Structure 1
Amino acid sequence: MNINQFALYRVNKMTAGRKLWHLSYNEVREKNLAVRVEFYRHMMVGEMKPDETANDIWKRIRYKTEVSDVLVLNHEGEISCFYLSDDHPRRISGFISMGTTGSVLSVDTRDYMIDGYSGNWRVTDYIIIDGKQFYLLEHQEFREQAARIILDSYGKYVAETGIGGFDETAKQKIREYIHPEDKYPERMKQLQTKMELYQKYFQNGMYERSHESGTEANYDMVDGQVNNQKKGAEQIQYPVAKRPKKRTSVIKKLHEKQIAIARRSGKPVPRYLEQQMVQERSRK
């Protein structure tokens, strides 16, 4: 199920985050202050439309917000965070961290070495999609001159991307990494159907398999009931063959016609015709 929600967080003045209270985005950057979820408290949650942006939601709930609030969007499993300044929402990273057990990367990672790539790399950004955290790493020496690499929280290679960072192409590569079945939907559908047939086949007992294998059309009909059983000889009803009609001889009809014509005209019937008719009567 796709989730489209937003949440609003406000500075908790009982924490070190009190320094952030009512500071603009530029002031936070000038003072190099960290914006972390542990410095905030949850204020509200609401639904967002699939095509809504952070700016749209900010305008919709602006009367409830304060400068230094953080707006967190969950758009179909993709988490993004925005610092609410006095002009418009500014996207930030590092507000929420999944804290995955065994993670080898963090927002502060530097001098990281990637298999197959030379030099040292550092984390410049991260994104959370479907509850999993992915990091964008930049070459520490060449920076924008080299492609950027996306790794998961365990340091596993996900994809190579350009200077656009987590653009739509990069997000699509991440989703394919999380859900490889989406990359080849038809092939995965065929494999799933085949596995379902095998599972249904093996779930039935040996008797059903042996008994039905000769009567069912294919294995997806092996279900413990003989649905396509062949009929026995006693059940098969054959149509009764009709006796063919006896065909009348054409020669006989001709002879009979000749005799009839001779009698009507008063002429004597030829002897060979009388003999022929006598022979035909004797055969009956």
Structure 2
Amino acid sequence: MTIERIAPALFVLLWSTGWIVARYAAPHADPLFFLCLRYVSAAAVFVVFCMIVRAQWPQTRAQWWHATFSGVLLHAIYLGGVWWAIAHGVPTALSGLIAALQPLLTATVAPFVVGERLSGSQKLGIGLGLVGLMIAIVPNLMALEPEQIAAATVPLIVNVVAMVAVTAGTLYQKRYLQTGDLRTIATLQYFGAFVVTAPFVLLLEDMRIVWNFEVFVALAWSVFGLSLLAIALLLYLIRRGQVSKAASLIYLVPPTVAIQAFLYFGEELPLPMIIGTLVVVLGVYLTNRKPKAPVT
């Protein structure tokens, strides 16, 4: 089994654990401060690794800028926005729904930005992904009290901005970073994320953190499981194929989170979530399957 075959499933599994990590870390650390620690740690690990393997660094100032700026979009604004929004009242289900709208935005913009053209089955797959996601999540949203939504207006806007940022970052990565060593690119991305996030920590937070077992586990997994492996897989998927295909995998994240929450925390796994997950899987399959070779 090649890395190209297992990468999508492994990416979804790893990426979805970010929600589990957020649940562990939130009571013990301010979200942006925790993310700054994550960025610094990930960058340090990548620097050491790049030195050991003698990875090639970007050769031009433009390449350094593109790598750093893509990190601002993919990490600082996206992760920072989502974590801050959840910490300030956005329900997890609603945040997941907003984040999972990325594939639709990506598919809409990609033809104009990177010249992608979607086949009929890919368009159908993206549409099915949205339908499945709505089936899975809408019942939970309808159960929320109006006061919960009203109190989270600003955090909701931040969450939407975060979704737009990761879409822009994915397209930016596809357009400007198709060449170069992904290891050094990732290093510069975390540097850019830290530089942008750190001032907001000083302005908005008290740098609160309780160094206990939960925080150590959350930070370790955030660095090695998410910042290193999951991001490496995302960059690989973007480089290897259409950004619309890579983005469609985000549809699988909220249902996968629900399954993990059921296994780890005993949270309810309702029938709509199960049905919606099956529809999402079909949609992602249609979006990512390779077209048949023409008969000659």
Specify the TM-score bucket, using the shorter chain as the normaliser. Answer: under 0.3
User: Which structure's relative contact order is higher, taking Cα pairs within 8 Å and 6+ residues apart?
Assistant: 2
- Bigger proportion of residues as helix: 2
- Bigger proportion of residues as strand: 1
- Using the size of structure 1 for normalisation, the TM-score is 0.22
Structure with larger Rg? 1
- Using the size of structure 2 for normalisation, the TM-score is 0.21
